[in-house]
């Protein structure tokens, strides 16, 4: 089937990359983007990494204007999909026909429901729990932190720790509530120890918990832990993960046990591909959803070509790249995490506290991490792939 109309649902980095990749692959037909947010694509990682640091007005999130010449329907959500008629249904009752579809609808932040007293929500809708997913969330958080409230961050993953670091930087008293050691689930104990130690030295309070819940309590919010212990704060930021935006796909028969799964070329079926936080895809560690900025980009490049070329398209050869920073610590890693145990290679850098590490994983792959260590990403990738030999200069060719 010749594709003359392609619809991309989602206006984040996966949707933007898919549009650019479609054009680069030669698609010159009608391209339409449906985006629930009212903005052009922006850097979501910058919201947690930069929003509370410095005095800028969030310029760090800005990306260049799109050049794919698509028709953009912003501030409009997809509400349904008819795969037989090849129609995307929109809120307000509109429909978009397509020959090919890119699903890049992303994910949304999970939250805890604030309650008052015996579980009755506040009538005015106001509460002191914030999540961080959109630029509006970031602006609101920046405004609320300016008065230096006491802050509890629920969730010790990368987002929670980045927010906690930013709040500390702004002069807030900050507590992180986490059911495991912060970052250990994502990175492994060795790397998590580096971050946690630096955070505590800078004044972060870390509290263990089971499942936490919130009680909106007059002048503040109380966080109640599994053992009944209560902690109060002026502001609570919930960073407990995300949920794929697949509700609009209900009834389409595209979901497997509630999840959207693609093959190694990003295909759900011949005329539909998916990429980004919404999709599970095959990796060395099985079918996974990898909600990382660079993962969304890599997936979208492959999915766009997969939609146009089918089996002739290259397969995704995925190696995770991840970075985070906070509490004076900057980490870049290439390879699958969490890593087990201590590294099999460790090289201190020139700057105090900087170190380059590598782990050999049980599946035969390698993971390399640079903590406050200046190294180009291509070289870090070579270290992950080839081991310490990648760091040695190549031998001069013999004449």
C-alpha to C-alpha distance for 19 and 339, rounded to whole angstroms: 35
Residues pairing with 359 in the sheet = 367
The pLDDT score that the predictor gives to residue 209 is 76
The pLDDT score that the predictor gives to residue 55 is 55
C-alpha to C-alpha distance for 361 and 51, rounded to whole angstroms: 35
Strand runs (DSSP E) across 83-125, as ranges?
87-90, 95-97, 100-103, 107-109
The pLDDT score that the predictor gives to residue 214 is 86
C-alpha to C-alpha distance for 177 and 164, rounded to whole angstroms: 11
How many CB atoms are closer than 10 A to CB 16? 26
The pLDDT score that the predictor gives to residue 153 is 95
Question: Would you give the end-to-end CA distance of the chain in angstroms?
Answer: 55
The pLDDT score that the predictor gives to residue 125 is 40
The pLDDT score that the predictor gives to residue 340 is 95
Token pair, residue 43, equals 């850097």
Residue 136: CA atoms inside 13 Å, Cβ hemisphere, count? 3
Which class is 5-108+243-312 in CATH? alpha beta
The pLDDT score that the predictor gives to residue 65 is 84
The pLDDT score that the predictor gives to residue 57 is 53
* Residue-level pLDDT, tens digit, the chain, 399 residues: 689 999 999 999 999 999 999 999 999 999 999 999 998 888 888 888 877 775 555 566 778 888 899 999 999 999 999 999 999 999 989 999 999 999 999 999 998 864 443 333 443 344 568 999 998 999 899 999 999 999 999 999 999 999 999 999 999 999 999 999 999 999 999 999 999 999 999 999 999 877 888 886 666 678 889 888 999 899 999 999 999 999 999 999 999 999 999 999 999 999 999 999 999 999 989 999 999 999 999 999 999 999 999 999 999 999 999 999 999 999 999 999 999 999 999 999 988 889 999 999 998 999 999 999 999 999 999 999 999 998 876 543 333
Q: What is the greatest pairwise CA distance in the chain?
A: 83
The pLDDT score that the predictor gives to residue 116 is 41
Are 263 and 282 spatial neighbours (Cβ–Cβ below 8 Å)?
yes
Which class is 129-240 in CATH? alpha beta
Are 153 and 237 spatial neighbours (Cβ–Cβ below 8 Å)?
yes
Are 71 and 77 spatial neighbours (Cβ–Cβ below 8 Å)?
no
The pLDDT score that the predictor gives to residue 399 is 30
H or E stretch at 287: strand 286-288
C-alpha to C-alpha distance for 210 and 227, rounded to whole angstroms: 8
- The residue ranges of every structural domain in the chain are 5-108+243-312, 129-240, 339-391
H runs (alpha helix) in the chain? 13-24, 45-49, 135-145, 158-169, 184-187, 189-201, 293-309, 377-386
C-alpha to C-alpha distance for 74 and 79, rounded to whole angstroms: 14
Same fold, 5-108+243-312 and 129-240: yes
Closest by CA position to 167, among listed 218, 213, 234: 234
Give buried/exposed letters for 350-385 (b at 16+ CB in 10 A, else e). eeeebbbbbbebeeeebbbbbbbbebeeeebbbbbe
C-alpha to C-alpha distance for 2 and 21, rounded to whole angstroms: 18
CB under 8 Å to 337, separation ≥6 — which residues? 186, 187, 188, 191, 320, 322, 367
C-alpha to C-alpha distance for 302 and 18, rounded to whole angstroms: 8
């Amino acid at each position: 089937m010749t594709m003359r109309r392609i619809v991309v649902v989602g206006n984040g980095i996966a949707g933007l990359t898919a549009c650019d990749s479609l054009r680069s692959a030669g698609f010159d037909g009608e391209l339409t983007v449906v985006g629930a947010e009212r903005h052009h694509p922006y850097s979501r990682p910058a919201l947690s990494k930069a929003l509370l640091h410095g005095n800028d007005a969030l310029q760090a999130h800005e990306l260049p204007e799109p050049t794919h010449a698509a028709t953009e329907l912003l501030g409009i959500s997809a509400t349904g999909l008819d795969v037989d008629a090849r129609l995307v249904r929109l809120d307000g009752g509109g429909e978009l026909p397509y020959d090919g579809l890119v699903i890049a609808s992303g994910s949304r932040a999970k939250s805890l429901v604030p309650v008052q007293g015996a579980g009755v929500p506040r009538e005015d809708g106001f509460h002191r729990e914030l999540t961080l997913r959109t630029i509006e969330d970031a602006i609101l958080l920046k405004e609320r932190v300016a008065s230096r409230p006491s802050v509890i961050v629920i969730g010790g993953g990368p987002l929670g720790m980045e927010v906690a670091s930013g709040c500390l930087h702004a002069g807030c008293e900050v507590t992180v509530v986490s059911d495991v050691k912060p970052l250990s689930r994502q990175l492994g104990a060795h790397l998590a120890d580096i971050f946690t130690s630096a955070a505590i030295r800078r004044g972060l309070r870390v509290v263990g918990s089971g499942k936490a819940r919130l009680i909106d309590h007059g002048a503040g919010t109380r966080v109640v832990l599994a053992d009944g212990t209560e902690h109060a704060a002026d502001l609570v930021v919930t960073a407990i993960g995300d949920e794929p935006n697949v509700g609009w796909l209900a009834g389409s028969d595209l979901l497997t046990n509630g999840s959207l799964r693609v093959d190694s070329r990003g295909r759900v079926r011949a005329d539909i591909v998916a990429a980004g936080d919404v999709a599970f895809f095959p990796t060395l560690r099985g079918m996974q959803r990898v909600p990382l900025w660079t993962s969304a980009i890599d997936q979208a490049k492959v999915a766009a070509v997969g939609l146009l070329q089918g089996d002739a398209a290259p397969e995704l050869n995925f190696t995770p790249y991840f970075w985070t920073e906070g509490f004076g610590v900057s980490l870049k890693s290439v390879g699958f995490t969490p890593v087990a145990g201590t590294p099999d290679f460790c090289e201190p850098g020139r700057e105090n506290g900087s170190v380059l590490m590598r782990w050999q994983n049980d599946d035969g792959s390698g993971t390399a991490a640079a903590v406050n260590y200046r190294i180009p990403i291509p070289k870090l990738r070579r270290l992950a792939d080839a081991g310490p030999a990648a760091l040695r200069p190549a031998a001069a060719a013999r004449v």
